[in-house]
Homo-oligomer: A and B are copies of this chain.
Amino acid sequence: MRISIIGASGYAGGELIRELLSHPEVEITNVVSRSHVDEYVFRIHPNLRGYTELKFSPLNLSSITSNSDLVFTSVPHGTSTEIVPKLLSTGIKVIDLGADFRLKDPADYPRWYGWTHSHPELLTEAVYGLPELHREKIRKAKLVACPGCMATATILALAPPIKEQIIEPERIVVDAKIGSSGAGNVPTKSSHHPERASGVRPYKTIGHRHIAEMEQELSLLTNIRPRISFSPHAVPIIRGILATVHTFTKKELELPELWKMYRSMYGKEPFVRLIRDRKGLHQLPDPKVTTGSNFCDIGFELDPHINRLVILSAIDNLVKGASGQAVQCLNIMLGIDEKTGIPGPTIYPV
């Protein structure tokens, strides 16, 4: 399968290239970056030196459509709405890593993103690319909208208890901690090393955009719309998200019941690990352990003090939160083993 990547110079783009280079069913035909035309890919993604002589090319849609079967788009929010319809109209399939096709209700774009969607008809067609919830639809999709990284960690943590309706739907606190790669590769004051290192900075404490997709997707599991109280924090790690999800159970629960719910939903999932150990340093999920992998590690605790169920969910924001999830969707569309091209055991400690 011939694949192009539009927006290939960002961190998620780099990871996508890395994964696709070792994917046996794929040939990369174009890696597009408007700001790095004609540069070697390894100059921007230095880990790929020695693995590819690819160079970045400009955004030329006719050239891309002539030699691609599927295109990954990894471009700033609001940019995909222009590119994707043109690609789809030539019969090319698209996996979009941005937010432009994630929300079903066109009204959510002005509300959460501040702009009006120019192709609302595509919102129905697009499939939300979370395999654990939408595998069958992804299989047949022409347009996959990959979830936001924060949304991936949160939705996977909450899906079982929401589906089973065991928690109060309006008292769900998601306190997230995220690494610096999550903000992309453009230097800003907030990513400046002297400012970012050694601190824990709350940001978007209210009103974060991923809330829209979290509530949308979790609503589909029942007919009650939960309210997500979501607040992220910038922590001094490069990769990874830990979502600590504090919920309150409607009645007393025992751990075996929880295990059963989570196993029933994720027992056969290739990229969800349930983590709950009684010994050692790694008793609950930590994004350190998912670095470089496509796993979402999920664990939980029951607090008898107040019927609280705390769920911990850890991912690598650039893999399960972006590129790895995208390749997982690709594999589903191709009808092959979902793990194809996705790295196996990753390094530790890192």
Contacts and interface: CB of A to CB of B under 8 A. Distances in A.
Interface of A: 11, 14-15, 18, 21-22, 43-51, 170-171, 173, 175, 177, 179-181, 185-203, 205-207, 211, 227, 229, 231, 233, 235-240, 242, 244, 246, 248, 273, 275, 277, 279-282, 284-289, 291-293, 295, 301-306, 308, 310, 312, 314, 318-319, 343-350
Contacts of A246: 173, 175, 229, 231, 246
A211 B45 CA distance: 33
A293 B350 CA distance: 12
Contact of A47 (B22, B187, B293, B318): B293
Contact of A287 (B47, B199, B291): B199
B348 A47 contact: yes
Most buried by B among A191, A197, A248, A280: A197
**Can you tell how many copies of this chain the complex includes?**
4
11 contacts: A15-B347, A18-B346, A47-B345, A49-B275, A191-B192, A192-B192, A195-B281, A195-B288, A199-B288, A200-B287, A236-B237
A175 B350 CA distance: 23
A286 B227 contact: no
A308 B206 contact: yes
A248 B180 contact: no
Contacts of A280: 43-44
Contacts of A170: 306
Contacts of A279: 43
Nearest to A270: B50
Nearest to A287: B200
Given A181-B349, A238-B350, A11 B200 contact: no
A345 to B, nearest CB: 5
Contacts of A50: 273, 295
Contacts of A185: 192, 194
B173 A346 contact: no
User: Which interface residue of A45, A200, A346 has the most chain B CB atoms within 10 A?
Assistant: A200
A205 B277 contact: no
A211, A292, A302 pick with most chain B CB within 10 angstroms: A292
Contact of A206 (B179, B236, B301): B301
A312 B190 contact: no
B301 A347 contact: no
Contacts of A295: 50
A46 B187 contact: no
A211 to B, nearest CB: 7
Contacts of A188: 187
B305 A198 contact: no
A242 to B, nearest CB: 4
B202 A284 contact: yes
Given A180-B193, A190-B281, A49 B237 contact: no
A236 B193 contact: yes
B345 A22 contact: yes
A197 B301 CA distance: 24
Contacts of A14: 348
B291 A198 contact: yes
B238 A235 contact: no
A179 B238 CA distance: 16
A303 B229 contact: yes
Nearest to A284: B202
